[in-house]
A and B are shown apart, each in its own frame.
Chain A
Amino acid sequence: MIKRGLFRKPKNELEGDEKLEKRPAPNIPDEMCLTCPDCKKVLFTGRLPDSCHVCPHCGYHFRLNARQRIHLFADPGTFAERDGNLVSRDTLSFPGYPQKLEQAGLESAEKESVVCGECRIGGRECCLFVMEPYFMMGSLGVTAGEKITRLFEHALEKKLPVIGFTVSGGARMQEGVLALMQMAKTSGAVKRHGDAGLLYIAVLTNPTTGGVTASFAMEGDVILAEPGALIGFAGPRVIEQTLRQKLPQGFQRSEFLLERGFVDSVTDRRKLKALLERLLLLHERRPCDGCL
């Protein structure tokens, strides 16, 4: 098939040919450049960390793995991981699950779908959990539930706030009802931490769905979201199949949730650290504790 416009020359140099312009020059290796999936502009991979992995042209938020996020938000050199050696077990002998776990480990270079630890943000001590999208899409299983629960219990003991970044497809079905129970378990830990007067900030990133939305993601005292993130209980495809209708544009995106009153703020990743620092500062002293 002959491509249309193949023999069409640019009318003049200034007009250029869009298609030709977008293709990186042959001597530039792939890893050096990438195309923004939203505005299709070519970006230098090496410069992306400078803009917090956000497209400088259109504000598209690239997916981050857990370590990249920790690097972005924890003060340099302050992150101390906790329970980093816990791994998932195939309790139900679910077909194909051990292979999936192995593959997830290779894809993400992590042992589980969440990384937990203690760090400083803006100089203030806090506990931090960051879910890992490249480990079975951040699915919540027994071990992830255990790590998050332990983190909240540790934060309660040390009277520290918790900041949690969520990204998840939901409960991990290969662990059956045991995965479902992690929703109750983590919620209990969040509640106990909160009842002690401690702060929990949840930051929802793309995508946060299913059992994670229906548990600790929606349980923050303050809930922030990155722009354009898909956040919901049922995935859009499930709803479309159930209702046999197309969903409206922007449905279940961060901005939609803000409008409906389910998140406190939709914040650009480049301004997120500053906001977290400010929120930690604002919760540090309590008027009733005698500073008024």
Chain B
Amino acid sequence: MDAFETVRAARAKDRPTALDYIGGIFGQFTELHGDRRYGDDKAVAAGIALLGPMPVTVIGIEKGHNTKERLQRNFGCAHPEGYRKALRQMKLAEKFRRPVLCFVDTAGAFCGVGAEERGQGQAIAENLMEMMTLKVPIFTVLIGEGGSGGALALSVADEVWMLENSVYSVISPEGCASILWKDASRVREASECLHLTARELFSLGVIDGIIPESGGFSKTGALIRKQMERFLLEACQTPVGELLDRRYDKFRKMGV
């Protein structure tokens, strides 16, 4: 499978969404709504759930399954209020000492007049800053598309994992091709150049591991759960200061 085929697989309509995995992995997921500032962005689903016996905060970017759901969820493209809703839940997690588990699947933060008026850039920037020093463990898994700043806003985590057929990129291959070569049809080439597959990103040190998808939805869910449990077992025993230093150093070294 070449890079562009992976992009297609990551975008496939029948791919399980964040809420599918959340339903499969956690018990008693209790969704909590709103950013307390402007509205409730349905592109982001957030709440509290149980992972085994442990209460955790769960945040997912949700694309929806059919046309009606997708329209409602804005195709998984969050507005600033989506990122602020996520941050509010993270702050609550910090208060109640709950780990944060994120599921990312977005083509990117929404580009629109309202999103700009309400500070899309500011909302993402604030998440990046706050996540870096959030005093509870954070684990992110990319389950489909990891589109630029919109994906990064939930991915400043102690560990970032990717599903085998997910992608993570600074720009969509279409965007890259049309900006660089003024030719949107060169997406295949752009997909190669961007190094956006899980395997390439693992070798660049950007992600911490890859979860195979060959076993189907429930097997993949079980593997995600296994990694989350392993991570939490380690992270919950690490002193907060050390956890934060490690998180900082991990991003500090990227690309250098």
Listed in ascending order, the chain A residues whose CB lies under 8 Å from chain B are 91-92, 94-96, 142, 145-146, 149, 171, 173, 175-185, 187-188, 190-192, 194-195, 210-211, 213-219, 231-234, 238-239, 242-243, 247-248, 251-252, 260, 262
Contacts and interface: CB of A to CB of B under 8 A. Distances in A.
A180 B153 CA distance: 11
Nearest to B118: A260
Interface of B: 109, 111-113, 115-122, 124-126, 128-130, 132-133, 148-149, 152-153, 155-156, 168-171, 175-176, 179-180, 193-196, 201, 204, 206, 247-248, 251-252, 254-256
B7 to A, nearest CB: 14
B113 A145 contact: no
A217 B125 contact: yes
B195 A92 contact: yes
Given A184-B156, A188-B128, 12 more contacts: A92-B194, A96-B180, A180-B152, A187-B125, A187-B132, A215-B124, A215-B125, A219-B125, A231-B121, A234-B112, A239-B112, A262-B119
Given A182-B255, A187-B129, A188-B132, A177 B169 contact: yes
A142 B255 contact: yes
A213 B123 CA distance: 10
28 contacts: A142-B254, A146-B256, A149-B252, A176-B169, A176-B193, A176-B196, A177-B169, A177-B194, A177-B201, A178-B254, A180-B169, A181-B254, A183-B125, A183-B128, A184-B128, A184-B254, A185-B251, A191-B132, A191-B133, A213-B122, A217-B121, A218-B122, A232-B121, A233-B124, A234-B115, A239-B111, A251-B113, A252-B116
A87 B256 CA distance: 11
Given A233-B149, A262-B122, A191 B129 contact: yes
A177 B112 CA distance: 23
B86 to A, nearest CB: 14
Given A176-B170, A176-B194, A188-B248, A213 B121 contact: yes
A145 B109 contact: no
A285 B115 CA distance: 38
Contact of B206 (A96, A181, A191, A215): A181
A153 to B, nearest CB: 9
B170 A171 contact: yes
Given A145-B255, A185-B252, A191-B132, A173 B180 contact: yes
B186 to A, nearest CB: 11
B251 A216 contact: no
Contacts of A243: 111-113
A185 B250 CA distance: 9
A91 B203 CA distance: 12
Contact of B168 (A171, A177, A213, A251): A177
Contacts of A181: 152, 206, 251, 254-255
Nearest to A100: B180
Contacts of B206: 177-178, 181
Contacts of A211: 148-149, 170
Contacts of B170: 171, 173, 175-177, 179-180, 211
Contacts of B126: 218-219
A145 B125 CA distance: 15
B171 A260 contact: no
A113 B204 CA distance: 23
A188 B252 CA distance: 8
Contacts of B111: 233-234, 238-239, 242-243
B195 A233 contact: no
A177 B121 contact: no
A214 B193 contact: no
A74 B253 CA distance: 31
Contacts of B116: 232-234, 239, 251-252
A129 B132 CA distance: 22
A218 B83 CA distance: 15
A95 B193 contact: yes
Contact of B255 (A178, A232, A248): A178
Contact of B129 (A146, A219, A251): A219
Contacts of A146: 255-256
Contacts of B115: 233-234
